Amino acid sequence: MELLVTLDPADRVPLHAQLERALREDVRAGRLRPGARLPSTRRLAAQLGVSRGVVVEAYAQLHAEGYLATRRGSGTHVAHAAAAPAAARGDAPAPRPRYTFHPGQPDLSAFPRTAWLAATRRALHALPDQDLGYGTVRGPRVLREALAEHLGRTRGTAADPQRMLVCSGLIQGFTLAFAALRDAGATRIALEDPGWLGHRTVAAHTGLEAVPIPVDDHGMRVDLLDEARVDAVVVTPAHQSPMGAVLAPDRRAALLGWAQRTGGLIVEDDYDAEYRYDREPVGALQGLDPDHVLYAGSASKILAPALRLGWLVAPLALSRALVEHKRHADLGTPLIEQLALAEFVESGELERHLRRTRRRYRARRDALLDALARHLPGVRVQGVAAGLHAVVLLPEGTDEHALVAAAGARGIEIHGLGDQRFEPAGGPPGLILGYAAMPEPAIAAAIAELAELMPR
């Protein structure tokens, strides 16, 4: 193999280092592919007009760095592990989807940058130097009080700031709560099926056995909890994730009855309850029985997932254990973001933002319903009264997986219901269409294209 390398004897960089650099760059840029054989040291030295020692030294260095490898009998070649990045190899990058029905993602372009910046500035101005040390593990009192007032007024929680803990998103919140339950002797936790994958992954991570409880048009089948023999249950009563049902009043009562009778814990995931379009929001369960319900809320849907801000309101019995787990996780969520959120809530900006985004998401939801009625009149749509996504149930026998793949190949990102089930094929095929981040014309165009892919 001839190598296109030129060395400059006048350069102050030694010849072996010049050769090393040239070969390293050739591998990185994909000009030398993994497995490519290099000339022998003798031959390359002759080609470059340098002593053999220069090439030996360069090869040895690149060998040590992992760029080159040597096989007995076949000389030196580019190591297989030294793959160039895809862009350097000239591979086509995966096409960006033209339309994204990402479930549960708010419209990130609606993030209230100006108001958030102003809230951060005010929070920093008011922050005494000594508060920049290690803070309270639970989160600053001003934020807990602001959230308690907001949640009490808008969600009907009995949110005592003393029992509240601010966490780095609900993924951390559930991790802390499940670990505290496990420490208290819990082994089995009931989860909705279909249900949010995050609950399942956190249960696995914390060593709790997840027990699936089916969901129907009225929410979780709480009548099955007794025979499930669980220590705790996670529910999304205001807007079941993903199917969209509201937990029926008799089931709410039965669920609280189960907790009071057995001493089990209800974990109420109130992830998107602020978005309800056709009637008043259903109040949180926690307000009815704060000693048996752990309330969990998040900034991910109402503001942005990148903030990584969530909050728990725990029964007294669990409250201290949560703080201990949080202490060991990170000593507390970043303070400046928490103070900015406190300002944001107290100044009324959160309410303003919610009013604005509610209007926007409602218009998008309506556009989705119109487009589905026009282009896919045979499908059943549910869960549309609230939240940021709708569920479309596909005709029996539709290959959900194939449809998701075909849509992906056309640049339409959609998600199937199968991923949310304990058994992917354990229920009718369906799609979860997150509409919050899509302008109305894009929704109409994407659904028209999707309809063309549906088996007839």
Ligand X SMILES: Cc1ncc(COP(=O)(O)O)c(C=O)c1O
Judged by the rule CB under 6 A, the positions of this chain that interact with ligand X are 104, 169-171, 196, 198, 236, 241, 269, 271, 298, 300, 305, 310
Q: State which residue, 41 or 300, has the beta carbon closest to ligand X.
A: 300
Q: State which residue, 198 or 429, has the beta carbon closest to ligand X.
A: 198
- The least distance separating ligand X from the CB of residue 306, rounded to whole angstroms, comes to 9
Q: State which residue, 18 or 172, has the beta carbon closest to ligand X.
A: 172
Say if residues 304 and 116 touch (Cβ distance below 8 Å): no
Chain residue whose CB lies nearest ligand X: 169
- The least distance separating ligand X from the CB of residue 158, rounded to whole angstroms, comes to 21
Q: State which residue, 106 or 290, has the beta carbon closest to ligand X.
A: 106
Q: State which residue, 116 or 196, has the beta carbon closest to ligand X.
A: 196
Other C-beta atoms within 10 Å of 392: how many?
Answer: 23
Beta bridge partners of 165: 312
Q: State which residue, 41 or 298, has the beta carbon closest to ligand X.
A: 298
- The least distance separating ligand X from the CB of residue 310, rounded to whole angstroms, comes to 4
- The least distance separating ligand X from the CB of residue 236, rounded to whole angstroms, comes to 6
- The least distance separating ligand X from the CB of residue 60, rounded to whole angstroms, comes to 49
Whole-angstrom distance, CA of residue 79 vs CA of residue 432: 44
Q: State which residue, 20 or 274, has the beta carbon closest to ligand X.
A: 274
Q: State which residue, 45 or 220, has the beta carbon closest to ligand X.
A: 220
Query: Helices 400-409 and 440-453 sit at what angle, rounded to 10 degrees?
Result: 120
- The least distance separating ligand X from the CB of residue 241, rounded to whole angstroms, comes to 4
Whole-angstrom distance, CA of residue 170 vs CA of residue 299: 9
- The least distance separating ligand X from the CB of residue 41, rounded to whole angstroms, comes to 55
Q: State which residue, 45 or 390, has the beta carbon closest to ligand X.
A: 390
